[in-house]
Amino acid sequence: METFLGIMIPFLGTTLGSACVFFMKKSLGVSVQRALTGFAAGVMVAASIWSLLIPAIEQSEDLGKLSFLPAFIGFWVGVLFLLLLDRLIPHLHVGSEQAEGPKSKLGRTTMMVLAVTLHNIPEGMAVGVVYAGFLAGNTQITAASALVLSLGIAIQNFPEGAIISMPLRAEGERKGRAFLGGVLSGVVEPIGAVLTILAAQLVIPALPYFLSFAAGAMLYVVVEELIPEMSQGKHTNIGTVFFAAGFSVMMTLDVALG
């Protein structure tokens, strides 16, 4: 039950964020979108470092000076995996007029949901691999550290849910459909978490590779998509300040509670 709740917490964050469409009459302002995107990016960077890369290196200490190698390999496989998804899945980022990926006849709203879904795939994998380590009895991954990662992802999923549901509403979708679009973008997280837990349980010795894989995938999303989105136009310092806020919140949670 503890694991089930842990992998569902991030999805709850997306759902609550998506529900903002029922309480806010206007679309999100540009500055608000930058702030929320920056905050989400900061949380993801801190989570990648303290919850994923550092544990991956620590669990490879028996390799001596090569303890960095599993983290290095897993990190790059994660980056390349997201690069591949970015090329294979048609998607449209909020605020952009040009779709990415292969040419498609999908509607704008569908491709906007797919763009956020791409963000959520590595987040679900990150939660799944940490809980896999906890279930396997890994002494360096405690129930508290796994829960902290889930809470951190949920915190950054709240603004992501709003960032997708509000623009969908602005595109002309009914509130119910806009909310559903935001929720569906987050469904991939618990699914990805469960699949990762099952895969990691089969190859526990490869846990450092799984941890760093999730970190690489998350950082790809941050650098490729979130940072450019928070830096568009004038007065980009808003996104930068909230990036620092998100980073510090996640770092504090991980170090103090993990």
DSSP string, 138-185: -TTS-HHHHHHHHHHHHHHHHHHHHHHHHHHHHTT--HHHHHHHHHHH
Find the mean pLDDT for residues 157-175: 80
pLDDT of residue 253: 87
Q: 209 and 73 in contact (C-beta within 8 Å)?
A: yes
Q: 238 and 34 in contact (C-beta within 8 Å)?
A: yes
- What are the b/e assignments for 206-232, b being 16+ CB within 10 Å? ebbbbbbbbbbbbbbbbebbbbebbbe
Q: DSSP 3-state assignment of 91?
A: strand
For the entire predicted model, the pTM comes to 0.86
Closest by Cα among 68, 62, 181, 35 to 116: 181
Query: For the segment 105-115, what is each residue's pLDDT rounded down to a tens digit?
Result: 777 777 877 87
Query: For the segment 109-137, what is each residue's pLDDT rounded down to a tens digit?
Result: 778 778 778 778 888 888 988 888 888 77
Query: For the segment 192-205, what is each residue's pLDDT rounded down to a tens digit?
Result: 888 888 887 776 77
Query: For the segment 37-61, what is each residue's pLDDT rounded down to a tens digit?
Result: 899 899 999 999 998 999 999 989 9
